[in-house]
């Protein structure tokens, strides 16, 4: 019995779910500790939500942040997109930002289900407008695996910004062994990147700001990292299945978070539906780099092009994208 108890205690922790008794929605929440819009999931969780609305949108973007981050990841590009006809809706995924159970890995299937439900909510909120899903880093892995699944989001295209595709297949054996051991024995141990001398962006003021942001997680539980790697594995294997909708891949030559080799391998499996943008001087946080405006514009032009092919020429009121 003691061995069974120890084994159970060592299984990586997954956040508990509530009963599926709600229709997913966006609701205005007013309370002592919560104010503003929230994404209400089918099991009743209130996920943090931010949105930047264009006056006359020609397209809607659903944006998913990366590991340790939250919807604030899009606070720089989204206002610019709104000025150019694209509304952006970004929610804090479970376990991150203002959402419940911070630091606890929610599970791959739940992350994908939340995305599918949210796209449906946005489709209902903006009938007739094309909806594109953008995933940055870990968010890119969620997006890739969701679109490669048997029940993909009801969206018109996907945008992958420095997607997290560093699977265990491409990791050194020592990394894999250490990760499994820590996550299955002392799963509660917090891991951080301090001391690794990794530079995620060349935008120093932005890095200082997120370093002071209490909602940006500075460390992660070992079992959360293990959960992250599990969805990275799935993302790496899903590339060949992403050939049914338009796809934009963006990655940088100075990315010190996701090695270039697995990204290049994933890129080689994409079909003719994929557009690839490589930025030799780009870091992992491509949209927040000093040259981020160039990438914002590239995304806006791609979205405008896809919207044009889907529904005909854009009108003057849509705010056709121009260079920042």
> 225-269, pLDDT tens digit by residue?
777 888 888 999 999 999 989 999 999 999 998 989 999 999 999
The pLDDT of residue 322 is above 80:
no
Confidence of residue 14 (pLDDT cuts 50, 70, 90): low
* 8 A C-beta contact, residue 72 and residue 288: no
pLDDT of residue 29: 80
Can you tell me the distance from the alpha carbon of 192 to that of 313, in angstroms, rounded to the nearest whole number? 48
Say which residue, 121 or 34, is predicted with more confidence: 121
256-285 burial, b if ≥16 CB within 10 A, otherwise e?
A: bbbeeebbeebbeebeeebbebebeebbbb
pLDDT of residue 7: 31
- Quick one: angle between helices 260-267 and 222-238, nearest 10? 30
In Å, how far are 25, 39, 154, 247 from 121, measured between CA atoms?
6, 9, 10, 22
Can you tell me the distance from the alpha carbon of 308 to that of 58, in angstroms, rounded to the nearest whole number? 9
Strand, helix or coil at 159?
Answer: strand
Can you tell me the distance from the alpha carbon of 165 to that of 235, in angstroms, rounded to the nearest whole number? 6
Confidence of residue 171 (pLDDT cuts 50, 70, 90): low
pLDDT of residue 228: 85
pLDDT of residue 312: 58
Can you tell me the distance from the alpha carbon of 138 to that of 65, in angstroms, rounded to the nearest whole number? 7
Checking DSSP bridges between strand 59-64 and strand 86-91, what pairing results, if any? parallel
* 8 A C-beta contact, residue 38 and residue 48: yes
Residue-wise pLDDT tens digits, 177-209: 444 444 344 344 344 445 557 899 999 999 999
Residue-wise pLDDT tens digits, 104-141: 899 999 999 999 999 999 999 999 999 999 999 999 99
Confidence of residue 6 (pLDDT cuts 50, 70, 90): very low
Q: What's the average model confidence in pLDDT over 59-85? A: 97
The pLDDT of residue 5 is above 70:
no
90 has which bridge partners? 50, 63
253's enclosing H/E stretch is none
Confidence of residue 34 (pLDDT cuts 50, 70, 90): low
Prediction pTM value:
0.85
Q: What's the average model confidence in pLDDT over 294-298? A: 98
pLDDT of residue 229: 84
pLDDT of residue 289: 98
The pLDDT of residue 173 is above 50:
no
Q: What's the average model confidence in pLDDT over 268-278? A: 96
Structure tokens at 4: 């069974």
* 8 A C-beta contact, residue 59 and residue 307: yes
pLDDT of residue 36: 83
Query: What structural domains does the chain harbor?
Result: 23-318 (3.40.50.1820)
pLDDT of residue 19: 66
Checking DSSP bridges between strand 46-52 and strand 35-40, what pairing results, if any? antiparallel
Structure tokens at 256: 């010190």
Structure tokens at 137: 């880093």
Structure tokens at 87: 């509304």
The pLDDT of residue 15 is above 70:
no
* 8 A C-beta contact, residue 87 and residue 58: no
* Percentage above 90 pLDDT, the chain: 66
Structure tokens at 285: 């946080």
């Amino acid at each position: 019995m003691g061995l069974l108890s120890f084994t159970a205690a060592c299984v990586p922790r997954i956040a508990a779910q509530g009963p599926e008794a709600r229709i997913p929605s966006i609701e205005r929440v007013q309370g002592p500790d919560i104010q503003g819009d929230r994404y209400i999931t089918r099991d009743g969780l209130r996920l943090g939500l931010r949105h930047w609305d264009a006056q006359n949108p020609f397209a809607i973007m659903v944006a998913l942040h990366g590991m340790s981050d939250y919807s604030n990841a899009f606070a720089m590009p989204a206002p610019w997109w709104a000025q150019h006809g694209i509304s952006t809706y970004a929610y804090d995924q479970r376990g991150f930002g203002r959402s419940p159970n911070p630091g606890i890995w929610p599970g791959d299937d739940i992350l994908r289900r939340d995305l599918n439900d949210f796209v449906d909510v946005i489709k209902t909120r903006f009938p007739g407008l094309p909806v594109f899903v953008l995933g940055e880093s870990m968010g890119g892995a969620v997006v890739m695996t969701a679109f490669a699944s048997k029940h993909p989001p009801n969206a018109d295209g996907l945008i992958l910004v420095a997607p997290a595709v560093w699977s265990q297949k491409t990791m050194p054996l020592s990394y894999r062994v250490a990760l499994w051991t820590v996550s299955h024995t002392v799963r509660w141990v917090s891991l951080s990147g301090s001391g690794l001398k990794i530079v995620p962006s060349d935008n120093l003021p932005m890095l200082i700001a997120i370093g002071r942001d209490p909602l940006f997680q500075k460390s992660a539980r070992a079992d959360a990292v293990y959960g992250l790697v599990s969805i990275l594995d799935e993302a790496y294997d899903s590339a060949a299945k992403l050939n049914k909708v338009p796809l934009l891949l963006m990655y940088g030559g100075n990315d010190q978070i996701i090695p270039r080799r697995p990204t290049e391998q994933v890129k080689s499996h994409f079909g003719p539906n994929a557009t690839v943008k490589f930025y030799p001087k780009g870091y992992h946080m491509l949209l927040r780099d000093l040259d981020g405006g160039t990438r914002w514009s590239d995304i806006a032009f791609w979205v405008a092009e896809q919207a044009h092919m889907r529904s005909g020429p854009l009108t003057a009121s849509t705010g056709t994208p121009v260079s920042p």
